[in-house]
Amino acid sequence: MRAMAIEEFGGSEKLKPMDLPVPEITDHEVLIAVKAAGVNPVDWKVRDGLLRERLPHAFPLIPGWDVAGVVERVGSKVKRFAAGDDVYAYARKPVVQGGAYAEFIALPLENVARKPKTLSFEEAATIPLSGLTAYQALFDRARLRSGDVALIHAAAGGVGGFAVQLAKTRGAVVLGTAGSRNHDYLRSLGVDEPIDYTQGDFCEAVRKTHPEGVDVVLDTLGGDTLVRSASLLKKKGRIVSLIDPEGIARLKAGGVKAHYLFVSPNARELTKIAEIIEKGLLRTTLAATFPLADAAKAQVMSATHHVRGKIVLII
Ligand SMILES: NC(=O)c1ccc[n+]([C@@H]2O[C@H](COP(=O)([O-])OP(=O)(O)OC[C@H]3O[C@@H](n4cnc5c(N)ncnc54)[C@H](OP(=O)(O)O)[C@@H]3O)[C@@H](O)[C@H]2O)c1
């Protein structure tokens, strides 16, 4: 099968077209013919070797943890899906190797859910990783409730855009950070108060309208942003970071309700997200699509840190 893969860690030039075998499936796995693969910051972090201490990797390594496609074949114990079903999945597996930048991907059943009917394959491939991250951060970790005030960093990004919309489905008041060129976009997603992080201290902007502080923070930046954001929390406030486990450990030691999240595959939650999408309560923004062969260009775009919405490879 056609794939884009790396033989060793390094820059975007390491990502090369390869002809690799179609993966085998076990009894509990599903083989998916990939139609579209989402591109996420973790893809170029994997390529650079930044996760090598944390997860086992094997080469040749096909990146890509976001997939939408059609079931080609199922293992003998799989009852939930059949060949021809349209599915989407968060494709992280215990060993980082067989990703979505390819014509086929083999995935355990627990990673896979039915594709939202209202989305194209390109749109559906933008959802699993970022949508699950937003869902698990706000709902599973922070236990966001109606009326809570939530501060969402990088609200114009992949995770932030879904987090804003999910927070609104729970009836939260949403403050979101982005450069001013993205503020109309933020409002269109449901942000009540856009904050321009490039113009002064975002904490001052938050305190101006919410002197009592906020109930929940979603941190996508870590370091100083994490520490300053924690200072905005009300007494029972919760902060979730996607990026800074050490910072979270320090906050916890100081008594803050702080959580580090590394998003987990979860087919049940992906199904719930599909229902929210089909009700028209969650939409996606396609920043750019690239053919599979241009995966390196797509990763370079992702690494600018200023994408609005999501990038997708068409297979
Ligand atoms: N732990 C996990 O499980 C997990 C899961 C998903 C993502 N992540 C990580 O979380 C981070 C965000 O992921 P993502 O997919 O949302 O990234 P992304 O889509 O690349 O984020 C891009 C957005 O970040 C905004 N931004 C850049 N610098 C900012 C700043 N200082 N303050 C506020 N906004 C800023 C940009 O808005 P402007 O152009 O307006 O600046 C842009 O819209 C990445 O590092 C990713 O690897 C971790």
Percent of the chain with pLDDT over 90: 100
Nearest CA to ligand 1 atom 14: 158
Which whole number is the average pLDDT over 285-313? 98
Domain ranges of the chain: 2-127+284-314, 130-260
pLDDT digits over 215-236, tens only? 999 999 999 999 999 999 999 9
Which whole number is the average pLDDT over 131-141? 98
List the alpha helices (DSSP H) in the chain: 41-48, 121-124, 128-135, 158-169, 183-189, 202-209, 223-230, 245-253, 267-278, 295-302
- Specify the fold of 130-260: Rossmann fold (3.40.50)
pTM, entire model? 0.98
User: d(Cα 11, Cα 18) in Å, to the nearest integer?
Assistant: 17
Helices vs. strands in the chain: H and E counts, helices first: 10, 17
Burial class (CB in 10 A: 0-12, 13-18, 19+), 305: exposed
CA 306–ligand 1 middle distance (angstroms)? 8
Confirm or reject CATH 3.90.180.10 for domain 2-127+284-314, answering yes or no: yes
Question: Which atom of ligand 1 lies closest to the CA of 45?
Answer: 47
**What's the pLDDT score for residue 267?**
98
Nearest CA to ligand 1 atom 44: 41
> Please, are residues 93 and 256 in contact by the beta-carbon 8 Å criterion?
no
Report the 10 Å Cβ neighbour count for 309: 21
**What's the pLDDT score for residue 157?**
98
CA 70–ligand 1 middle distance (angstroms)? 29
CA 1–ligand 1 middle distance (angstroms)? 32
User: d(Cα 42, Cα 299) in Å, to the nearest integer?
Assistant: 10
pLDDT digits over 140-198, tens only? 999 999 999 999 999 999 999 999 999 999 999 999 999 999 999 999 999 999 999 99
Report the 10 Å Cβ neighbour count for 95: 10
Ligand 1: residues with CB < 6 A are 40-42, 129-130, 133, 153-154, 156-160, 177-179, 182, 197, 220-221, 242-243, 261-263, 302, 305-308
pLDDT digits over 247-290, tens only? 999 999 999 999 999 999 999 999 999 999 999 999 999 999 99
CA 179–ligand 1 middle distance (angstroms)? 12
